[in-house]
Structure 1
Amino acid sequence: MNTSSIKIGILAAACACSLSAFAAGKVLIVQSYHEGHPWVDAVNASVKKTLAGTGAEVEIFCMDAKRHSQEAEKLKAAQAARDKVASFKPDVVITSDDIAQSYFAKEYVGKAGPQFVFCGVNAEASAYGYPAANVTGILERPHFNETMKLLKTIRPNATTIAIVSDDSETSKWMLGQMQAAQDSAMKIVSSEQASLFTDWQAAVTKAQGAADAVVINLYHTVKKEAGGASMDPKEVMAWTLANVKKPTVGFFDFAIKDGVVLGIVESGEEHGYEAALMAKEILGGKTAKDLPIKTAKKGLVMINVVTAQKAALEIPFESIQAADLVIDK
């Protein structure tokens, strides 16, 4: 055998080893919420797309905690997720959003078994015992001041903002981060978390009477009655848009798609992509401790011109031209 043949043989063997490492890999995505939720679907699709061609076997488990948000229901879902880990035996578990961390993933910190990669986490990583030898991931933070600057392109004299959100754990962390991020250019004068729809309606009424613009944050765990199922988020948003006369601001792509006027938003696609890249590296031989925790940086500029037109809000052409995504129908 000549030298070239030896080199080719070594290269082929190396490639085969690399591919076999991926082919043997299993990835489990544990979602805090349900399939059909825009963030969940974006993360799932992005993970699958990024891992396509690696040979990794991907399965999904949904805790469904937005529609089933009672404590007993979340504990039951967490146990079901642990059962899924035991039966599927994944090499990597991707956990999305805070519920999956607080009720499920944190129980695995420092233990033998699969490596964990989180995404869409609003809390400080330390709240769950992260980072750890077997846990890394991507933090999610609202692009508050950047969004306030975008707001000022349509309301240059705006100086006050009011925030309305549901009572989810994610909302709690986000509200704290927004309070910490505010500067003298835009003051938060009201911040309300609503459990029931009647509370939400009162909070919206208070918000638009108190501020120059209203943040519609999360609205997915609002219920018509205590102990009941969460309402359809689109129903909550439809009432809100029909009753808010001030400009509305959001921090999620689905909020702008549902009718909020503008925002620089977090992207489930970005979080899924980054989490899948980390999973790839782990399947290739690295461990979570080799991969530092990241904060998602990109942020997408989104504007809903349909809502703006209905509210008689003038959006400068320069802002529309600079947007990553414009909702125009």
Structure 2
Amino acid sequence: MRHRTRITPMATGLILLIFSIIPTPTPGETVPKVMLLHSYHASNQWDLSVEEGVRDALADEYYIPDENLILKSFYMDTKRRTSPEWKEDVGKMAREAIEHLAPKVVIALDDNSQKYVVRRMPAADNAFVFAGVNRDPEEYGIISNREKPGGNITGALERERFGESLAFLRRIAPEVKRLALISDASPTGTPVVQRIKSLAPEHGAHVTASLQTNDFTAWKAFVKKAQTQADALVVVVYHTLKDDTGTHVPSEEVLAWTTRHSTLPDMGFWPWAVSDGLLCSDAISGYEQGYYVGTITAYILGGQSPGDFPVASPRTGQPCINSARAEALGITIPDHLTKTATVFSTMAALKNPPPTTD
């Protein structure tokens, strides 16, 4: 039986390291260690899909966690806890956990782990393999050459499939030209918003309204106003919003409110966004990101230098449709699209929905 290893936030906000049961190596045998460093939390759907890809890739290269590999996870929880103080504190805890475990490879997921951990450990003895990075890694000072990184760091970029997703949306709603673009103000959202604004004209689209905010009240006002300003709503990420009391609003609640109060066809860039209720996406595959960096990790464990692997951007997409959202919008999905896409039929529920539109 395999036991997954977790570092999970406790109720007090501290980090708990839970060690799994590892077989005792035979004399002379060394079990390699790998740490999965997550910027987010254990139940985050992106993290789950990336980890699945990592584990499958390692297994395909004959590295089996809890058999001939020690694999541990650390969760920074920076989507739900967004203060600069928390990020600094948890970054320090993560660096200490890496020093304590002394893994041969750290797989560092998403931007906050680069900012608060990887770039703070330039002289580390272990290799770093990053995934899910939305900003240019050069901004963090962790590499200077993507083709030949050199040193102890390489990885995979996460790039939204904007052109592909827009083309997919237009197969469902051909009239879409004007886009309302909304995102939280997280490190993930900012570079995506910038790229979409730059790329939209190349795809015959125009961003007529745009907002980045962590204020749920401002988010609501924008969605309502956008109904007369655009043909479609483009939702990037929605995980760091807070209400008027400063309390974090769960991402599912944000999207449930959004789809309840918008009659615009909408699109996102990740499968979980369509699962939560957006109409469609030619989505980024977290699994493909994980499989790619998991394979690189296996090669590093086998003796190859991380700096020999160029930084890449896996481009395999996952077409997704939410049939319940289509029905709510009065849109008929062509049969040929449902045959090749992942089809979701449920939407995130709005907690305590009001009897009238709020």
Q: Is the structural similarity TM-score above 0.5?
A: yes
Matches within 5 A, 1:274-285: 274-285=292-303
| More helix by percentage | 1
User: 2-side partners of 1:288 and 1:250: how far apart?
Assistant: 33
Identical aligned pairs, as a percentage?
33
Partner of 2:134: 122
Structure 1 position 232, deviation (Å): 1.1
SS at match of 1:238: helix
Q: Distance in 2 between matches of 1:148 and 1:165?
A: 17
Q: Distance in 2 between matches of 1:75 and 1:321?
A: 46
Among 270, 275, 278, the alignment partner of 1:260 is 278
Confirm or deny: 8 A CA contact 1:166 1:195 kept in the other structure: yes
Counterpart in 2 of 1:193? Answer: 212
Aligned to 1:220: 239
Computed over aligned residues only, the root mean square deviation of the Cα atoms, in angstroms, reads: 1.9
Residue 13 (structure 1) aligns with: none
Q: Structure 1 residues 198, 290: closer, same or farther in 2, change over 3 A?
A: same
> 1:159, 1:187 within 8 Å by CA — same for their partners in 2?
yes
Evaluate the alpha carbon distance shift between residue 296 and residue 313 of structure 1 in structure 2; reply closer, same or farther with a 3 A threshold: same
| Per-residue Cα deviation, 1:245-287 (whole angstroms, up to 9, x for no partner) | 0101000111000000000111211111111101001000011
Q: What is the CA deviation profile of residues 69-107 of structure 1, one whole-angstrom value per residue up to 9, with x for unaligned ones? A: 000000001000001011100100000011111111112
Q: Tell me the SS of whatever aligns to 1:210.
A: coil
Specify which of 189, 196, 200 is matched with residue 171 of structure 1. Answer: 189
SS of the residue corresponding to residue 74 of structure 2 reads: strand
Question: Which one of the candidate residues 70, 80, 83 is aligned to 1:57?
Answer: 70
8 Å CA contact 1:163, 1:207 repeated in 2: no
Cα deviation digits, residues 116-159 of structure 1 (max 9, x gap): 00000001121122245111000011111111111111221221
The answer for the alignment partner of 1:156 in structure 2 is 174
Matched with 2:229 is: 210
Aligned 8 A contact 1:30 1:61 in 2: yes
1:177-204: per-residue Cα shift (whole Å, max 9, x none)? 2122222511122221121110110121
Cα distance in 1 for partners of 2:90, 2:80 equals 12
> What is the aligned partner in structure 2 of residue 76 from structure 1?
89
The normalised TM-score by structure 2 is: 0.82
Which structure 1 residue ranges, 4+ long, deviate > 4 Å from structure 2? Answer: 20-23
Secondary structure in 1 matching 2:257: helix
**For the Cα contact (< 8 Å) 2:263–2:329, is it kept in 1?**
yes
Kept after mapping to 2: 8 A contact 1:97/1:118: yes
Partner Cα distance (1:117, 1:165) in 2: 27
Letter in 1 for 2:213: A
- 3-state SS of the aligned residue for 1:158? coil
Distance in 1, Cα, partners of 2:192 & 2:325? 25
The one-letter code of the counterpart of 1:36 is S
Q: Is the 2:268–2:278 Cα contact (8 Å) retained in structure 1?
A: yes
State the SS of the aligned residue for 2:227. helix
How many Å apart are 1:50 and its aligned residue? 2.4
Contact kept, 8 Å, 1:32 with 1:64, in 2: the verdict is yes
Query: Which protein shows a greater Rg?
Result: 1
Q: Deviations over 1:213-260 (max 9, x none)?
A: 00111111011136x342111111111111000101000111000000
How many angstroms does 1:51 deviate by? 2.0
Distance 2:289 2:274 in 1: 18
**Which AA in structure 2 matches 1:206?**
K
2:319, 2:203 → 1: CA distance? 23
Q: Deviations over 1:285-321 (max 9, x none)?
A: 0111111111020011001111101110121122222
The code of the aligned residue for 1:143 comes to R
Alignment correspondent of 2:47: 40
Corresponding residue pairs, total: 308
CA distance in 2, matches of 1:319, 1:161: 22
Structure 2 unmatched runs, 5+: 1-26, 144-148, 347-358
Match of 1:304 among 308, 322, 330: 322
The residue that corresponds to 2:289 in the other structure is: 271
Asked if structure 2 preserves the Cα contact closer than 8 Å seen for 1:220 and 1:232, the reply is: yes
**CA shift at 1:45, angstroms?**
2.5
Q: Deviations over 1:149-177 (max 9, x none)?
A: 11111221221111111110110011112
Are 1:164 and 1:207, in contact at CA under 8 Å, matched by a contact in 2?
A: no
Alpha-carbon distance between aligned partners in 2 of 1:112 and 1:186, rounded to the nearest angstrom = 46
The gaps in structure 1 that reach 5 residues or longer are: 1-19
Given that 1:138 and 1:294 are in contact with CA atoms closer than 8 Å, whether structure 2 keeps it comes out as yes
- What one-letter code is carried by the residue in structure 1 that aligns with 2:45? P
Partner of 1:248: 266
SS of 1:59's partner is strand
Q: CA deviation at 1:208?
A: 2.4
